[in-house]
Structure 1
Amino acid sequence: MKRLIPSLLETLEKGLTLANPLIAQALWHLRHPTRRGVLKACAALPLLFVLYVLILIPFTPGIGDIRKAKVEQPAQILSADGKLLAEFKPSNREWVKLRDISPNVVNALIATEDHRFYQHWGLDWRRTASAALHTFSGDRQGGSTITQQLARNLYPDEIGRAPTLTRKLKEAITAFKIEALYTKDEILETYLNTVPFLYNAYGIEMAARTYFDKSASDLTVLESATLTGMLKGNSYYNPVLNPERALQRRNTVLGQMVKYGKLTPAAYATLSRKPLRIDFERQTEPPGPAPHFAQQLRKWLASWADRNDYNMYADGLVVRTTIDSRLQTMATQAVTLQGNQLQGIANSVWGTRAGCSNGRDLLQTFLRETPDYRAAKDAGLSDDDALKRVSSDRELVKSLCESKTRVQADFLAMDPRNGQIRAWVGSRDFSQDPFDHVQQARRQPGSTFKPFVYAAAFEAGAKPTDTFVDKPVEIPLAGGEVWRPGDEDEPSDRKISLRDGLAYSRNRITAQLMETVGPNKVARLARAMGVRDSELDPVPSLALGTSPVTLKEMVSAYGTIANLGGYVEPVMVTRIEDRKGDVLAEFAPVPPKQELSADADRMLIDVMRDVVNRGTGSSIRSRFGVRGDVAGKTGTTQGNADGWFILIHPQLVAGAWVGFNDSRVTLRSDYWGQGAHSALPIVGDFFQRAQRSRLIDTRVKFATDQEPGWFAERSARLRAWFGNLFASSPPARPEAPVAPRGTTRRAPASAPAVPVEPSASATLAEPRDIPQPPLLQAPGSAPGSAPAAASGAVDGEARGGGEPALAPTPTPDDVVPPDAGSPANALPGTSTNGGSSP
């Protein structure tokens, strides 16, 4: 290497020495040009130009791309039962044939933009030369033909819009290709269907609807001239914001039509004096039956198409999804019905019509967060004066009050066996609130998180019959703080089983169980079961659902419970086909991953059955008549800010959330704010409809009965053989047959009967029809009875059994204590109960 470097340097030095005379000679000829040299240079310039054009040709859109643009087919999104859910278009456009466009539009367009359209082959040399001369003289003018403009509209990324020679050459090359491929009528049709007109209106049809509330076939001469005039500058000649400029430009177009024989001078004299007469209305694409689902699917499909070299706007993809259009309709109806009824309650308690007259203090807080208040403060006003100014704006106050007190709700249903999403409703009304609460909103889940605590305990060896003493709980946290979870009633100092702790959503019992199991273990298990995107803070208060999560995560995790502990990731698509029906990709169900042992999961399902049979979710049966083997859990957060309910069935898991976008706003009711009265009716209405339509088989049951192992089975046979051998009399016949595998375990003897098919379903406005939970019985009561609790309501959600003549005032069931969210590190606790500990 040491010898090589000097030799290279020496060679380079010799080369420069030889080149110096040549360079010097070339520079001398440039300074002293000869006639022959000038002629050679002039002859070389066209050759260089042609060479440059040839180099640019591969960098312009190919023939196949242009043909594809002409037959553009957006992706079609189909439900599992073959119904159209959405079409993914690149813009808000409706393609119309040239024969369905008013001739006035074509006449105005050609007269104004390209009057020699039928004489050239994509490039008007005379117009281009004239535009170039005007530009060089300082008066910049455009010389693009309709075909060149179409090239820019179709391929803005490949051609660009910079005012450079390269861009103009690429535009001209593409225009020649388009002329070679299209007829003149096809070029006009494509141009008029792709040109933008502001306000998300693309193409002449959407422009006609937006500005004149009519179809493109009905446009008059004046209307056609107005829209054609916008092509020179959409914003500058916007007839909505700049009517004077638009009127002037419209008359210029009319003048061009007179010049090229498309309009008589007499007609021009009459028409030019008339006003614009705009009938403006923004055009929005129909949201479809599952708009929030389609919104999420669009993101997924865009990524898939990029990876697999497809264009989801032009390649005619057919995407077959997991949504069942019938279940989707039922879910939308259930959310709308319950949301509207709760909105009436919210309007009443907040005084919405009077500008939140019943919540003035919070309204002032909202007003201080508005840009109007900040502008008033920036102007030098004091807090009181700035607040008075914004408060005097009635329209602002009314709009702010209505937006803040608008009840929101979402819903998700999923098949737990394969993870296929069957129904997805992201808000009450997509047009008013396109924000997707199912996947994007993170809210505290309240007591719907408790099953993960009990699942961790059962996996560690606890049994549903294990008990904790209902006593005051104080759990020390990091930093010297103490967490004191509580229930609505006072501690009873009696033993309560884990079964009743979950059925009646007892906070003190769950907190003690959490202390025994450990927050870290519960957080890990919840993540494994499906809560995988949101951060779970492993602190004791996590037991009561203080870490915000999404409904999609919760339904997915409950799907793991319904699937006997096997986690299956939620899926939206089963197959993608091309326009001919050929399968491009198929997404087979992924085998479940066992995240919770089957034995622990069976116990959890059996305990969660009691929630709907006699606990906080019993109105699922008593009010909505939901039949079959179902289980679930209600949830309510501090101040009734969030109401939750999730129901599981072997074939379907469905969950709902109800609240407000701003968690500081609540229904201000200890009754309607609870998950059993806000979110449960959505799920109940949906399940009721689905069962009546036979979309859910009520005969299918969870496989929660465990078959005995080999040793237990042989031991039982041996004991029976010895009993028969030494018995003095024939063995007695068993009183009842052993339940076969897959049947439902009987409830305790003291549990009240569950009405399966009520004679009539109650309405939301009749709380007396919602049964109340029975009081827990005291120690010493009949065998099989539930452990006792303090007097009064155990859990304020719907109660099971009996219909008292005078129902007590309902109280919140599973409210997160005010200090539940205190950050702290997890501290392992030990059981202080008198019974067995997990």
Structure 2
Amino acid sequence: MAAKKQTSVTQDFSKYIRWFWMLFIGGILLAILMFLLASWGLFGEMPDHTVLENPKTNLAAEIISSDGKTIGKFYLNDNRTPVEYDELPKHLVEALLATEDARFHDHSGIDAVGTLRAIVKMGSGGGASTISQQLAKQLFHGEGSKNKLGRMTQKIKEWIIATRLERQYTKEEIIAQYFNIYDFLNNADGIRSAARIYFGKEPKDLDLKESAMLVGMFKNSSLFNPRKRPELTLQRRNVVLAQMYKYDYIDEKVKDSLQKTPLDLNYNPESHREGIATYFRTYLDGFMKDWIKNNPKPDGSKYNLYNDGLKIHTTIDSRMQLYAENAVQDHMSRLQAAFFSQNTPEKNKTAPFIDLSADEIKSLLRGAMKQSERWRKMKYDLDKSDKEIEASFYKPTEMSVFAWKKGKATEIDTIMKPIDSIRYYKTFLRTGMMAMDPQTGHVKAWVGGINYRHFQYDMVKQGKRQVGSTFKPFVYATAIDQLHYSPCDVFPDTPFCIEANKYGNLKDWCPKNSGGDYGGTRTLKDALANSVNTITARLMDKVGPKPVIDLVKKLGIESDIPAVPSIALGTADLSVYEMVGAYAAFANKGVYTKPVMVTTIEDKNGTILYQFKPETRDVLGEEEAYVTVKLLEGVTQFGSGARLRRTGEPYGVYKEIITGYPYALTNPIAGKTGTTQNQSDGWFMGMVPNLVTGVWVGAEDRAAHFRSITYGQGASMALPIWGLFMKSCYADKTLDVSTGNFEVPKNLSINVDCSKESGNYVNGEESGSTPDDLNF
């Protein structure tokens, strides 16, 4: 009886064993089937070999300066520039391994220990996903499903892709891809953008605590956002440091000391409206779109500026660009303060406009209203009537407006009627500045305004303004070329007229000298240094307008210039870009070199797609160009640019607008100031042998200007920016900005040393130089 009972129990137990093995084997077979079905694509498309070899990620186009710095990017959604494993610091990789996958080097994509622990603990222990699995998730199917079945099939797909990635790539390549793919928020796509945006560094320069913070964000970048939740991010960073100590990457002393430190963010946003060289980047955007339009890929498709990872090598020098932007900010903030003080409602009821009636101002503001972005959006996006749109301009609205505060550009949150904001923005003085190497044509710095976010119209190439006396050297150069004049030749400084219809002028043209001063005679060098209008008119009368226009056209000026005598005094509207290119030929021995902004374009693999070819032409003889340069040197020796040489402190009203003074420059400088009628525009063109720089300053509307020449001349408005810029360039010993003389041509036949002989007399006698009474 007992034996039968024992047999029955054994049979019952064996039944359970059979069921166990059946379920166990069935489970294995089911798992195998699930993996097979997933690999065959039943649960959704799986990447094949070619896709795994070239996973599709959006790569931003990178703008690279001549000194090898990234000065900006073009992207729509993904600001991503990949880096190689060798560019990652050792402690950054160690932080990742200690925190995300300690057994990374011991598995082939799936961590069996971590997976079993997750199963046993029902996910509460964490640690199931390897770096390879997380990369698979990031590359091929993003966020998880919300239902259990979806999450299970997704996890299976992750395992399959992870193992395939492990076969396709080395461990180091997987780590690099993971760092490159992750979204660190705030336009920080990938480790390179994250390092630059959060700490202003390249990844290889990150220190240990910075690396720990970025690795800590892998858990959840939205939760551990250092800008929005710094305290939480700090705690997470310290967890990473603790993990590094746990796995013996750092010792306890290092861990404890770093955990006590703050995050020390150095936030450098990378957007199209912020950062360095914003105006240049806008120009470059147009350049690249034109290039893409005319240069298809080998397969006939078009390059994508925002996704294909192009590398655009430019001529911009990041150091010079920074010095140029700093010079603009330093001077314009102080000049604006002086402008505001002269345009208070008590001093000027029509501020910022001068000599305009109420109807003229209303018409001007209405024109600006119709050109605004607000009008465009309401008209074409919202289909509003003109009456509705105009009414909206008179309703108070919350907005952020530009302002100078303690010498820095900032924004102020306020409530203002849009029509009042238009008038407010018209009170601000604008600027344009460009620096170029005259021999190569390489543009080294480009500042198109005071703040791109609020003033997007580029005053380097887009904007054109009257150039005033900066046009006079073209008249002098024509006379030197045609008549072989010397800087020492003497002309009478007396009233002079060009008769009507002689050169297309409909009436007699009788220019006056500034201040109405006449008398005696002047050398050409003295006349140009002191911008004497009557002597410039005499030269124009001798050569005629057409040869002058022919010269400037050969010097790269494309704008229309009427063939009338008055162009001698700078009535033409030209751009800073055109003026710098034209002046550069004087410094380059009479050879015009077209300005160059892009040297090469590469694809993401480094294949060169474009390489620039210099465009040059002989315009003046070497001797004539050198003589023109010697004339321009007189401007900075004893003319309106002589303040660049002063070593004493400024006095009187100049104290409030002159920054970085004294400039105390002693090297040879050729230059020319320019001031237009009513002080609407101020210019300075300055040259040393290997750098030509042009600066313009003025308001958007010519009716907004300084009342007096004291503030409104080019020597006060524009020259200080050039002085500040050059001081910074000379202080930077890594730059090679010339301090030497302009090269003297061989067999120079024209006398340029006026101390040795008096030169030729033209209708008068030579007299001494008259110092510019605006100098100090």
**Same fold by TM-score greater than 0.5:** yes
Q: Flag the 1:115–1:656 CA change in 2: closer, same or farther, 3 A.
A: farther
Amino acid at match of 1:299: G
Check conservation: 2:497, 2:508, Cα contact below 8 A.
Answer: no
- Correspondence 1:435 to 2:457: yes
Q: How many correspondences in the alignment?
A: 555
Displacement, 1:454? Answer: 0.7
Name the structure 2 match of 1:300: 287
Deviations for 1:359-380, whole angstroms, at most 9, x for unmatched residues?
5847545444446999999879
Report matched runs for 1:17-36 at 5 Å: none
**1:747 Cα offset (Å):** 5.2
The one of 616, 619, 626 aligned to 1:595: 619
* Cα distance in 2 for residues equivalent to 1:457 and 1:89: 51
Match of 2:64 among 59, 73, 78: 78
- CA 1:64–1:748 in structure 2 vs 1: closer, same or farther (change >3 Å)? farther
What does the per-residue CA deviation read over 1:266-320, in whole Å, with 9 as the maximum and x for residues that have no partner? xxxxxxxxxxxxxxxx994573322222222233234434515254444433333
Mapped partners of 2:582, 2:283: distance in 1: 20
Gaps (5+ residues) in structure 2? 1-46, 83-95, 101-125, 128-136, 156-167, 198-215, 226-268, 298-302, 398-414, 647-661
Alpha-carbon shift at residue 386 of structure 1 (Å): 13
Any idea what the Cα deviations from partners look like across 1:631-686, whole Å, max 9, x if unmatched?
11100111111110011111110111111122221133321111001100011111
From 615, 619, 633, the equivalent of 1:609 is 633
Q: 1:702 aligns with which of 732, 742, 749?
A: 742
- Displacement after TM superposition at 1:620 (Å): 1.7
In 2: Cα distance, 1:585 partner to 1:403 partner:
40
In structure 2, the CA distance between the partners of 1:327 and 1:388, relative to structure 1 (3 Å rule), is closer
2:607 corresponds to 1:555: no
Give the aligned partner of residue 653 of structure 1.
Answer: 692
Corresponding residue for 1:786?
768
Letter in 1 for 2:563: P
Match of 1:291 in 2: 278
Cross-structure match for 1:326: 319
| Structure 2 residue 77 is matched with structure 1 residue 91 | yes
CA distance in 2, matches of 1:547, 1:708: 33
Classify the secondary structure of the residue corresponding to 1:523: helix
Residue 487 of structure 1 corresponds to 513
Specify whether residues 73 and 352 from structure 1 end up closer, same or farther in structure 2 by C-alpha distance, changes over 3 A only.
farther
Q: Percent identity, aligned pairs only?
A: 30
Identify the residue that residue 523 of structure 1 maps to in structure 2.
549
The equivalent of 1:542 in structure 2 is 567
Residue deviations 1:61-98 (CA, integer Å, cap 9, x gap): 9997897562433222221211111122233656999x
Contact in 2 for aligned 1:471/1:491 (Cα 8 Å): no
Partner AA of 1:441 in structure 2: G
What is the alpha-carbon distance in structure 2 between the residues aligned to residue 565 and residue 474 of structure 1? 30
Taking the aligned partners of 1:114 and 1:506, their CA distance within structure 2 comes to 87
What secondary structure does 2:711 align onto? coil
Name 1:476's counterpart in structure 2.
Answer: 500
Aligned with 1:522: secondary structure? helix
Q: Is the 8 A contact 2:475 2:548 kept in 1?
A: yes
Q: 1:113 to 1:593 in 2, by over 3 A?
A: farther
Query: Is the 8 Å Cα contact of residues 352 and 705 (structure 2) preserved in structure 1?
Result: no
Report the Cα distance in structure 1 between the residues aligned to 2:675 and 2:329, rounded to whole angstroms. Answer: 21
Structure 1: give runs of 5+ residues left out of the alignment.
1-60, 122-180, 224-281, 713-738, 751-778, 789-793, 804-838
**Secondary structure of the equivalent of 1:429?**
coil
Structure 1: which amino acid aligns with 2:573? P
Q: Distance in 2 between matches of 1:597 and 1:95?
A: 48
* Partner residue in 2 for 1:574: 599
Amino acid at match of 1:635: G
Structure 1 position 345 matched with structure 2 position 338: yes
Which whole-Å CA distance do the structure 1 matches of 2:222 and 2:524 have between them?
76
| CA gap 1:646/1:618 in 2 versus in 1, 3 angstroms | same
The CA distance in 2 between the partners of 1:285 and 1:566, in whole Å, is: 36
Deviation at 1:483, TM superposition (A): 3.0
Most deviating of 579-588 and 636-645? 579-588
- Residues 62 and 219 of structure 1: CA distance in aligned 2, closer, same or farther (over 3 Å): closer
What corresponds to 1:504 in structure 2? 530
Deviation of residue 425 (structure 1)? 1.1
Deviation at 1:324, TM superposition (A): 1.6
Paired residue for 1:463, among 459, 482, 485?
Answer: 485
Preserved contact between residue 85 and residue 290 of structure 1 (Cα < 8 Å): yes
| 2:469 aligned partner | 447
Name the CA distance, whole Å, in 1 between partners of 2:475 and 2:148.
74
8 Å Cα contact 2:590-2:621 kept in structure 1:
yes
Aligned 8 A contact 2:352 2:427 in 1: no
Q: Deviations over 1:681-716 (max 9, x none)?
A: 01111112212324345553212354268xx9xxxx
* Rounded Cα–Cα distance in structure 1 between residues aligned with 2:219 and 2:350: 51
2:287 aligned counterpart, secondary structure: helix
Secondary structure at the aligned position of 2:573 is classed as coil
CA contact (8 A) 1:78 1:321 kept: yes
In the TM superposition, 1:62-211 aligns within 5 A as: 70-91=56-77, 93=79, 116=150
Per-residue deviation at 1:481? 3.4
Moved more, 631-640 or 599-608: 599-608
Q: 1:377 to 1:66 in 2, by over 3 A?
A: same
Structure 1 length-normalised TM: 0.55
Q: 1:654 to 1:747 in 2, by over 3 A?
A: farther
After superposition, the CA RMSD in angstroms is 5.5
Distance 1:90 1:479, change over 3 A: same
Q: Is the 8 A contact 1:368 1:387 kept in 2?
A: no
Bigger Cα displacement from structure 2, 662-671 vs 433-442 = 662-671
1:669 to 703, 708, 715: 708
Letter in 2 for 1:574: T
2:459 and 2:451 mapped to 1: Cα distance? 11
- Taking the aligned partners of 1:591 and 1:377, their CA distance within structure 2 comes to 50
For the 8 Å contact 1:352–1:405, the answer to whether it is kept is no
Q: CA deviation at 1:333?
A: 0.8
Deviation at 1:611, TM superposition (A): 0.8
8 A Cα contact 1:606 1:704, kept in partner:
no
- Whole-angstrom CA distance in 1 between matches of 2:736 and 2:142: 60
* 1: CA distance, partners of 2:182 / 2:349: 47
Pair 1:120–1:697, CA change in 2 (3 A): closer
Cα offset, 1:612, TM superposition: 0.8
How far apart, in 2, do the equivalents of 1:565 and 1:92 lie?
46
CA contact (8 A) 1:351 1:357 kept: no
Determine the C-alpha separation between the residues in 1 that align with 2:416 and 2:604.
54
Larger Rg: 1
Which residue is equivalent to 2:726?
A: 687
Partner in structure 2 of residue 730 of structure 1: none
Q: Give the 3 Å change call, closer, same or farther, for CA 708–424 of structure 1 in structure 2.
A: closer
Alpha-carbon contact 1:612-1:631 (below 8 Å) kept: yes
